[in-house]
Structure 1
Amino acid sequence: MSEHEDLERLLAERGPWTAAYIDGPSDLPEPDELARRRRVGESVEGAGAPDADVTAIAEAIAAQTGMASPSTRYLLVRDGRVELDQSFAGPRHGPETFRHGPVPPLIPLLLHRSREAMSAGAGSADSADAGVDAEVSDALDHAAEESHRREGNGVREVVPLLQRAQVETLVLPDEAAASERMLDALGAPPWVAEGDDDEYAADSIGWVSAADALARAAILTGARILVTAEHLEEGEPRPDRPQREVVAVLRWPTDPYPQE
């Protein structure tokens, strides 16, 4: 069973989707909380969401989640119906995000899910982060121990590997969500393509963020996804260095025989 079975079902279907990655219910005085909800509604509307989706999100955030503040909430809506409403303990791992389009922003959700899975036995957020980092290291070390190639690096290498459903684990840096790189999301296998020259029977559902296109293709091919994160304070800029690359650990090697 896929660890993202709910997303696998939803992402195989057509959108467009309206997504909101926001703070959960606050402990602010009621007037301030109501103002926060109005601001969220205005942001959803500003993202181009239809009225039915704006209304669905407004009704959802008016309901309590039962989680103490601070908490985080991810809402995914289609045709005025809330398809996914998931809350997480603790603050957001990045800015609030509002989007309406063919593929929702997946990195914030996947980041929280991976840390929630780790925190079940870790006892703290720092321990959960360390657990994710350790799993990434273990996956890459295992790939490096093989006598033939079991790893792909960078978007150009990873796209064809996902097209062949060859990826066992996809390691995505959270900063990839801010990249301007775009990929073509497809409505059927192989789910993702790199350029207009690619010819597949599947039709395009739109050009989207490379990070979300890769994450979607990984989910739809049953790959495990680990999102690595830098721990920055609210508003703190990222270090001035080259962006970390996406890495794929493979189910089977790219070359059939061991290298000499």
Structure 2
Amino acid sequence: MTVGKDLREAVQTPGPWTTLYTDGTSDEPQAVEEAREERTLRQLADAGAPAADLDAIREIVRDRTGAADPSTLFVLVRDGEVAVREQLAGRRHGPEVFAHDPLPVVVPLLRHRGTMLRYLVVETARDGADVRLETAGHGGVETAESVEGRTDSLPKVQAGGWSQPRWQRHSEEIWKQTQSEVAEVVERLTRQASPAFIALAGDVRARQLLRDQLSPDSSALVVEVDANTRADGADDGALVHAIESALDSTIQREMATAIDASHAEDGRLRADGVEAVVASLQQAQVAQLFIDARLLEAPTGDATDTLSALDAEPWVAHSTDAIEGASEIARLPLAEALARAALLTDAQVRIIEEDYEADESVREERDPRPPFALLRW
């Protein structure tokens, strides 16, 4: 997950900041949408947001163009200027946020971004292909390219005759040449974008020829979909389902791989618990920070539930008593303070979601698990 310069600058800059994390556009009647917009602005006002921030946010929540349904909206505003605005495809990952604080609230955005993987979609046929680069959660296509192959070939099934084998070979060579051109596009986009996987759909023979042309590294990323989505009237349901399954599998696999790495070498590259994680963040040792989703729900009733967010390195501390050259901006909830320090030291933030599968499943009663980190050294 790429954090982005705007978000990094926001968490480094003292506010006050107005943070909004809420549902985006929907297909509700206009009256319902307008009532929800007014509720949003009222809750931000109750949180202390000034008029300039409210005016900026009012324009954003009323802009319904180009957003998927359902969608989620995240906005950071300071002194009436919008610093971060993200319209995210899909439902919220956690509760709404209406805040006006010395520092922005960023964990909800990081949690949502944790599912935003890039992937390639290739829909191929014997006469060409459509290739597009997408990012889950953005609801749009980043890059789209089409390959148009030669059309001077005949179908493989002919009426017969002495020339049929020759035409079959001719057609096969043209199809192979077309898939070679498609492979060049796929290889180039794979090098440029490093997609998590390549969803491959289309004509059976075209898929076979394309896979033969791909490099071993690219071929290993292929998730093949047994559906000819380029045919007239074709249903893309199988492709959508395959992409969703691949996204879930990739996220789970990446999380498991990172956690396994933290246990390697008898845990030499692992920091466990708040004390150890804070010490590692202060040394910029953390490569990946892991936070239990339940920690985001934990109450923050006293100082033991918060950490000091600093205006300079080392960015986070239990207190400022022994920190020279840095002053406290605010005391933040554990998850926010740790995530902020991670962003400012180029560490990746991973939220460990609940592992029960169905909404109606009984949720295990337990306390949040302590944060831990995979270290760089």
- TM-score where L is the length of structure 1: 0.88
**From 241, 245, 254, the counterpart of 2:370:** 245
Superposition CA RMSD, Å: 2.5
Measured in 2, the distance between the counterparts of 1:116 and 1:49 equals 29
Moved over 6 A (4+): 231-237
Higher-Rg member (1/2): 2
Whether 1:146 aligns to 2:265 is: yes
Larger relative contact order (CA 8 Å, sep ≥ 6)? 1
Q: Which moved more, 1:224-233 or 1:30-39?
A: 224-233
Is the contact made by 1:88 and 1:116 (CA closer than 8 Å) also made in structure 2?
Answer: no
Query: 1:149 deviation in Å?
Result: 1.2
Q: Deviations over 1:182-218 (max 9, x none)?
A: 1100011100111253333201101111111100100
Residue of structure 1 equivalent to 2:11: 11
Deviation at 1:235, TM superposition (A): 11
1:53 maps to amino acid: D
In structure 2, relative to structure 1, the CA distance for the partners of 1:229 and 1:26 (3 Å cut) is: same
Counterparts of 1:23 and 1:36, CA distance in 2 = 9
Which whole-Å deviations, capped at 9, do the CAs of 1:143-186 have from their partners, x for residues lacking one? 32225611011211101110110101111222222222111000
Specify whether residues 190 and 236 from structure 1 end up closer, same or farther in structure 2 by C-alpha distance, changes over 3 A only. Answer: farther
Does structure 1 retain, via aligned residues, the 8 Å contact 2:294–2:367? no
Distance 1:72 1:42, change over 3 A: same
Q: Quote the offset at 1:219 in angstroms.
A: 0.3
1:1-260 equivalences in 2 (<5 Å): 3-117=3-117, 120=136, 121=196, 124-125=243-244, 127-146=246-265, 149-179=268-298, 180=300, 181-230=305-354, 239-252=364-377
Deviation of 1:19 after TM superposition, in Å, equals: 0.5
| 1:146 alignment partner, SS class | helix
1:82 to partner: Cα distance: 0.9
Tell me, in whole angstroms, the C-alpha distance in 1 between the residues paired with 2:311 and 2:325.
Answer: 10
Residues 10 and 104, structure 2, Cα contact 8 Å, conserved in 1: no
Matched letter for residue 137 of structure 1: A
Give, in whole Å, the separation in 1 of the partners of 2:85 and 2:248.
23
- What's the secondary structure of 2:67's corresponding residue? coil
Shift of the 148–226 alpha-carbon distance from structure 1 to 2, 3 Å rule, reads closer
CA shift, 1:90, in A, is 1.1
Decide whether the 8 Å contact of 1:56 with 1:81 is kept in 2: yes
- Which runs of no fewer than 5 residues in structure 1 stay unpaired? 253-260
Evaluate the alpha carbon distance shift between residue 38 and residue 148 of structure 1 in structure 2; reply closer, same or farther with a 3 A threshold: closer
Structure 2 gaps of 5+ residues are: 119-134, 137-195, 198-241
